[in-house]
Amino acid sequence: MEEELEEMGLTRIGVSLPSNLLNKFDEIIRGRGYSSRSEGIRDAIRAYIIEYEWMEREEGEEIGTITYLYDHSQRGLGDELTNAQHHFIGMIKTSTHIHLDEENCFEVVVMKGDAKKIKELAENIMSLKGVKHVKLTTTHGGI
Ligand code: NI
């Protein structure tokens, strides 16, 4: 079986996931009509790679928004997010905080300046424990 997979250019991997994450993923791929979980995971990994490669190519002066969702009961996370933003103080034009529900907060940070720095803050936020989702969008000025 493994040899057959290799001949097809495929490698089997084992991944451990929290069951609620897997349940949600299964629900989405069923809704989108995927024939198998493997196909859904392949597409998700492709999307992740494209997103990362796009972020790596960004450079020069840009306007960026970083949106993120986090668990505000995560110990110390609020302070860590504030500290991260203070390192980019001159670039942050505005930020908004929304208390979504008992557990979750949603924030939007709008930045202007070097794309590499915008990306750096987004990556800092992504690396913090308790941050559930981060989305970075950038655009060039002077449009
Ligand atoms: Ni809040």
- For residue 47, the CA-to-ligand 1 centroid distance in Å is 30
Tell whether the torsion through CA atoms of 25, 26, 27 and 29 is positive or negative. positive
Domains plus CATH for the chain?
A: 7-55 (1.10.1220.10), 59-139 (3.30.70.1150)
Angle at 19 between CA 13 and CA 24, to 5 degrees: 95
Global pTM value: 0.69
42 pLDDT above the threshold of 70: yes
Rounded to 5 degrees, φ, ψ at 129 are -70, 130
Q: Look at residue 53 in the predicted model and tell me its pLDDT.
A: 81
Q: What is the pLDDT of residues 101-127, one digit of tens each?
A: 999 999 999 999 999 999 999 999 999
> Span 52-77, mean pLDDT?
88
What SS3 string covers the chain? CHHHHHHCCCCCCCCCCCHHHHHHHHHHHHHCCCCCHHHHHHHHHHHHHHHHHHHHHCCCEEEEEEEEEEECCCCCHHHHHHHHHHCCCCCEEEEEEEECCCCEEEEEEEEEEEHHHHHHHHHHHHCCCCEEEEEEEEEECCC
- For residue 117, the CA-to-ligand 1 centroid distance in Å is 25
- For residue 67, the CA-to-ligand 1 centroid distance in Å is 14
- For residue 109, the CA-to-ligand 1 centroid distance in Å is 14
- For residue 20, the CA-to-ligand 1 centroid distance in Å is 23
56 pLDDT above the threshold of 80: no
- For residue 19, the CA-to-ligand 1 centroid distance in Å is 26
143 pLDDT above the threshold of 60: no
- For residue 26, the CA-to-ligand 1 centroid distance in Å is 29
- For residue 132, the CA-to-ligand 1 centroid distance in Å is 14
Q: Look at residue 141 in the predicted model and tell me its pLDDT.
A: 56
Higher model confidence: residue 143 or residue 23?
A: 23
> Span 67-88, mean pLDDT?
95
* Paired tokens of 124: 């800092």
> Span 49-72, mean pLDDT?
86
